[in-house]
Amino acid sequence: MKLNLIRVNQNRLLTITIVVLALLLFGNSIYTNQIFGHNFAGDQSASFLALMDQMQTEMSLINTNLVDNNQPLAKDHLNKITELYTKYIKKEIAERNKRIANDISSVINETSIAIEKNNQDTSMLVKNFNDIIGEAVSVRIDSDALTNATVHALHFANLINSIDLSYADALDTKPMNMSFMNIGDNSSSSHDNHNNSNINNKNNTMSGMNIDYGDSSMASMNKDTDKNSNATKNGTIANIASYQTAKELTNNAINLFNSTIKPNIPSNATENANAIESGLQQLKIMIETKAPYDKVMGIIHGIIQTNTLEIFNLPLESSK
């Protein structure tokens, strides 16, 4: 009797898992059946890499806008850098190398002056910034993490989430999340435990799933409907700087996938790899054509993130 009960519970859990994945994969065209974003339990090295990518992206866009003689947009991107480079991040880098932390601040200040002077050639500042960021990565992240496939997969996943946030902000739409899903966190404080033996071990990632369709969660979803009313409408960009960021981060994600992620995907996950590659190209086209947010979010979380999770068995963040 007890064995039968266990089997029933296991079957119920499997059914729930299939339903959730089906919603993620196929629900992107139906806004009322909202898809919720993946919040991956993070490796700090991966988060740092994604943050540095974002800062470099914003610096590049400063130069792009100054070349186009668009000083206000250049300022918007500088503001994004200052928001990203918090006192905490500066302190974290300074603990490893104070000079590098200060150099990052110096280039940011020099860039601010260049914007005020409407200097249309900041290419050297961009180069200096990229060089210093490279140093920051080398001192902040251990060499074993820089060659770890799962760390880079989390790096990629974080970068994709940043695209989601930037595009939602571009459309003045509230990004969606998995607030009603409590998913077991298999993360480890040491990235030594993130190794390729986890690849395709989907059961471990999904087994901790505990879904609570409580009234408060549904009320929260309904409360956000007005904010997301333009999520199913094409086109109107409310924040051009965020739109530029979303486009550029997408190009960066494609480059990262081709250079670092794809070579680490095992041969038995070719179908997943092809799905991610196709999803990235769809994402690029959708953002360039200013597609509705729910369509973009469906590609991000229904195709790209889901297949990345399956290949690398990425741990999902638990709700607190």
Q: What is the pLDDT of residues 65-108, one digit of tens each?
A: 999 999 999 999 999 999 999 999 999 999 999 999 999 999 99
At 314, the pLDDT band (50, 70, 90 cuts) reads confident
Question: Which of 16-25, 43-52, 200-209, 211-220 is the most confident on average?
Answer: 43-52
- Looking at the predicted structure, is the pLDDT value of residue 30 above 90? no
**pLDDT for res 218:** 33
For 186-231, the pLDDT digits (tens) are: 333 333 333 333 333 333 332 222 323 233 333 333 344 444 445 5
Residue 299, token pair as written in the block: 């590609």
**pLDDT for res 20:** 41
Between CA 29 and CA 304 the distance in angstroms is 16
**pLDDT for res 24:** 41
**pLDDT for res 33:** 31
Residue 176, token pair as written in the block: 């969606």
CA 144 to chain centre: 22
Between CA 192 and CA 272 the distance in angstroms is 25
- Looking at the predicted structure, is the pLDDT value of residue 38 above 80? no
**pLDDT for res 43:** 73
pLDDT-above-90 percentage for the chain: 59
Question: CA nearest 176: which of 240, 230, 234, 228?
Answer: 228
At 235, the pLDDT band (50, 70, 90 cuts) reads low
**pLDDT for res 17:** 43
- Looking at the predicted structure, is the pLDDT value of residue 4 above 80? no
Question: CA nearest 69: which of 107, 108, 115, 123?
Answer: 115
Contact assessment for residue 248 and residue 61, using Cβ atoms and an 8 Å cutoff: yes
The pTM for the full model equals 0.73
Burial per residue of 199-224, b for 16 or more beta-carbon CB atoms within 10 angstroms, e otherwise = beeeeebbeeeebeeeeeeeeeeeeb
pLDDT-above-70 percentage for the chain: 67
